[in-house]
Amino acid sequence: MKFVDQAKIFVRSGHGGAGCVSFRREKYIPRGGPDGGDGGKGGSVVAEATGQKDTLLRFHYNQHFVAGNGRPGGGRNKTGEDGEDLVISVPPGTLIKDAETSELIVDLASPGDVFVLCKGGRGGQGNARFASSTMRTPRFAQPGEEGEEKRVLLELRLLADAALVGYPNVGKSTLISRLSAAKPKIADYEFTTLAPNLGVVSAGEEDTYVLADLPGLVDGASKGLGLGFRFLKHVSRTGVIVHVLDPGRLDPENPGKDLEKITKELKNYDPGLLKKPKLVAMGKMDLEGADAALEAFRKAKPRTPVYPFSSGTGKGLKELRFALWRAIGLAREKSAAS
């Protein structure tokens, strides 16, 4: 299934039905009074976050959503039928913005969150509503109220407990395939990951967490270069950031340079990302020279714990899995407290 995380759509609520002008016409009742009923209410457009959706793909093909109109009132004080509400199901973590101004309308962060995007128009009152001692035969009724319409931007930000970030081809996709049942595309060239991958990682009999593999970042990603800029927004939803390093590409003169550059890209995109808990993991430890690169990194960054692992041999994966679980647990406690 194609992953789509952004879409523009047009939404419109239903018009209210018109009120009715009618008078009683019954045998043996020579002066029947007004009996025009009210028009029905127009249907509303409602956005709802549901866990059954994980992409905005449907909005790529269908971009117009219109709720039902209210029916007009009838004689004998019959109220018109209300227009049917239209419920738009979106994945949890979807931001809805005004397409013209980019102003945030609502953040449907959790499953079950509901928001009325366009309220249906009220039905018009029939002439029976206007009868009084001074106006016995009102020959007018109200028209139905117009519905609302707007163009909105849907922007999905994945909900994950942790996200793997780093340069292209450092082993993020292979790592998530070893920690979870996710099956991302894996190859020995850059940018094999063109969309985020999610995997559920087991940390015990009942303990699990969601891990996201994001497309590789490049220098200048925060300014729109490469593929990473579009997916940096997904990092904001994660509890823990995992920096994945490749020992084969570390600069011998400055082993901490890659970590510093990726951290800078995150800061340039959103300074708040630096406040998130983070882990540093170094993969491909089965390759020649990896141990020396690890020691050089530790000397350059003595205050930065690093978790070495090899997706090929499996060494270090258990330690990394449970280190992530501990960090995620702390992040969840902090989030619940706030």
- Here the CATH number for the domain that contains residue 241 is 3.40.50.300
Regarding whether 329 and 240 lie in a shared domain, the answer is yes
Regarding whether 16 and 136 lie in a shared domain, the answer is yes
Give the pLDDT confidence score for residue 188 in this predicted structure. Answer: 46
Regarding whether 330 and 308 lie in a shared domain, the answer is yes
Regarding whether 101 and 36 lie in a shared domain, the answer is yes
Regarding whether 312 and 181 lie in a shared domain, the answer is yes
pLDDT value at 186 more than 60: no
Tell which of 156, 189, 223 closes a domain.
Answer: 156
For the stretch 214-240, pLDDT in tens is 877 766 645 554 455 566 777 888 899
Tell which of 156, 182, 207 closes a domain.
Answer: 156
Per cent of the chain over pLDDT 70 is 89
Q: Is the pTM of this model over 0.85?
A: no
Which domain CATH number covers 57?
Answer: 2.70.210.12
Regarding whether 297 and 176 lie in a shared domain, the answer is yes
Give the pLDDT confidence score for residue 185 in this predicted structure. Answer: 47
pLDDT value at 57 more than 50: yes
Per cent of the chain over pLDDT 90 is 59
Give the pLDDT confidence score for residue 1 in this predicted structure. Answer: 44
Regarding whether 307 and 174 lie in a shared domain, the answer is yes
Give the pLDDT confidence score for residue 303 in this predicted structure. Answer: 93
Closest C-alpha to 164, from 307, 330, 30, 18? 307
Regarding whether 82 and 144 lie in a shared domain, the answer is yes
Number of structural domains (the chain) is: 2
Q: Who wins on pLDDT, 63 or 228?
A: 63
Give the pLDDT confidence score for residue 175 in this predicted structure. Answer: 92
Distances (CA, A) of 282 to 158, 241, 244, 294, 295: 24, 14, 6, 8, 11
pLDDT value at 40 more than 50: yes
For the stretch 5-27, pLDDT in tens is 889 999 999 999 999 999 988 77
Closest C-alpha to 120, from 196, 173, 44? 44
By residue range, what is the domain housing residue 174? 162-337
Q: What residues pair up with 6 in beta bridges, in sequence order?
A: 155
For the stretch 88-146, pLDDT in tens is 999 888 999 999 999 999 999 889 999 999 999 999 999 999 999 899 889 999 999 99
Regarding whether 304 and 181 lie in a shared domain, the answer is yes
Regarding whether 140 and 42 lie in a shared domain, the answer is yes
**Sheet of 94-98, strand order:** 64-66, 6-12, 149-156, 94-98, 104-108
Q: Who wins on pLDDT, 4 or 278?
A: 278
Q: What is the SS3 assignment for 268?
A: helix
Tell which of 104, 123, 156 closes a domain.
Answer: 156
- Complete DSSP assignment for 111-154: TT-EEEEEPPPPPPPPGGGG--SS-SS----PPPPP--EEEEEE
Regarding whether 282 and 211 lie in a shared domain, the answer is yes
Regarding whether 135 and 169 lie in a shared domain, the answer is no
In sequence order, which residues have a C-beta less than 8 Å from that of residue 335 and are 6 or more positions away?
239
